[in-house]
C-alpha cells in the first residue's frame, strides 16, 4: 500500500481525482482486471455543494453521502442540473427516513435488517420504484457497527429476495480500523460468490487499492479526493 494517501491530499481537486482514478486502474491491472469494472464513489459528506460541483466539472458523477438530511441540503439542485448523477447512501438508514432516501438516492448501500427490508418493500410498492440495493455486512462483527453478521448474510439475502421481493445488487463492508482490511475484503468477496452477487462495495481512501485487488466493483473514496473532513 502506498503511504502518500495517508498524507493530506495535495494538488487541485481534479488532480486528486485523476490520481485516485489512475491508482484504481493500476491496482486493477496488477490483478488482471479491467479498470472499467471498478466504479468510483466520491464520498462528499461534510463537503459543500461547491466541492461537489468542482468534482462534477472534473468528470466525476457518482457520489456517496452518509446522511439523508445532509444530502437533501446539497444534491436536489445538482441532480436537476446533472441528470446522470448517481447518488449512493453509505450511512445507516432509519426506517422513518426511507421515503426521503428513496426519493433522492439512486443506490442504498446499507440494507442490513428485516425492518428496513420491509420498509423499502412497502415504499417500492407505493412509488413503483426503488434505488438499487446493497446489503451491508459487519465483517468484523463489531457491536457498534451496522450491518448483518457474516453468518446471517445468506439467510438475510433470501429474506430480502423471497419475502420482500427486493433485488439486491451486491454487498458492502467497512472493515474494523485496526485490522488488515484484506481479510475482510476476502470474506465479503466469498459471501458475494456464495450468494450469486456481482457487486462488491469496499475500499476507502486508505485501502481502496487493496479492495480493487480483492474484487471491489465500487470503491468509496472521500479524503483522498476532497481532503480532510473538519
Ligand X SMILES: *Cc1c(COP(=O)(O)O)cnc(C)c1O
Residues within the interface to ligand X (CB under 6 A): 43, 45, 66, 90-91, 174, 204-205, 220-224
Nearer to ligand X, 95 or 223 (CB): 223
Nearer to ligand X, 109 or 123 (CB): 109
C-alpha cell at 33: 482486471
CB of 66 to ligand X, least distance (A): 5
DSSP string, 26-82: HHHHHTT--GGG-EEEEE-TTS-HHHHHHHHHTT--EEEES-HHHHHHHHHHHHHH-
Query: Cell match 446499507: residue?
Result: 110
DSSP state letter for 9: P
Residue nearest to ligand X (CB): 222
DSSP state letter for 88: E
CB of 192 to ligand X, least distance (A): 17
Nearer to ligand X, 157 or 172 (CB): 172
CB of 219 to ligand X, least distance (A): 9
d(CA 213, CA 186): 10
CB of 33 to ligand X, least distance (A): 21
Nearer to ligand X, 70 or 122 (CB): 70
Amino acid at each position: 500500500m502506498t503511504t502518500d494517501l495517508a498524507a493530506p491530499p495535495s494538488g487541485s481537486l481534479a488532480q486528486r481525482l485523476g490520481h485516485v482514478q489512475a491508482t484504481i486502474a493500476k491496482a486493477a491491472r496488477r490483478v488482471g482486471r479491467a479498470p472499467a469494472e471498478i466504479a468510483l464513489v466520491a464520498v462528499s459528506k461534510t463537503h459543500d455543494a461547491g466541492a461537489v460541483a468542482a468534482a462534477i466539472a472534473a468528470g466525476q458523477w457518482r457520489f456517496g453521502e452518509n446522511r439523508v438530511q445532509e444530502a437533501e441540503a446539497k444534491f436536489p439542485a445538482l441532480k436537476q442540473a446533472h441528470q446522470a448523477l448517481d447518488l449512493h447512501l453509505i450511512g445507516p438508514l432509519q426506517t422513518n427516513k426511507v421515503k426521503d432516501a428513496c426519493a433522492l438516492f439512486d443506490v442504498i448501500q446499507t440494507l442490513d435488517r428485516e425492518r428496513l427490508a420491509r420498509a423499502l418493500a412497502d415504499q417500492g410498492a407505493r412509488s413503483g420504484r426503488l434505488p438499487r440495493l446493497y446489503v451491508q455486512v459487519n465483517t468484523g462483527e463489531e457491536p457498534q457497527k451496522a450491518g448483518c453478521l457474516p453468518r446471517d448474510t445468506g439467510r438475510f439475502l433470501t429474506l430480502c429476495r423471497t419475502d420482500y421481493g427486493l433485488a439486491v445488487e451486491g454487498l458492502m463492508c467497512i472493515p474494523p480500523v485496526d485490522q488488515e482490511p484484506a481479510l475482510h475484503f476476502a470474506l465479503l468477496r466469498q459471501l458475494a460468490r456464495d450468494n450469486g452477487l456481482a457487486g462488491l462495495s469496499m475500499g476507502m481512501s486508505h485501502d481502496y487499492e487493496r479492495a480493487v485487488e480483492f474484487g471491489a466493483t465500487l470503491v468509496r473514496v472521500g479524503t483522498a479526493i476532497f481532503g480532510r473532513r473538519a
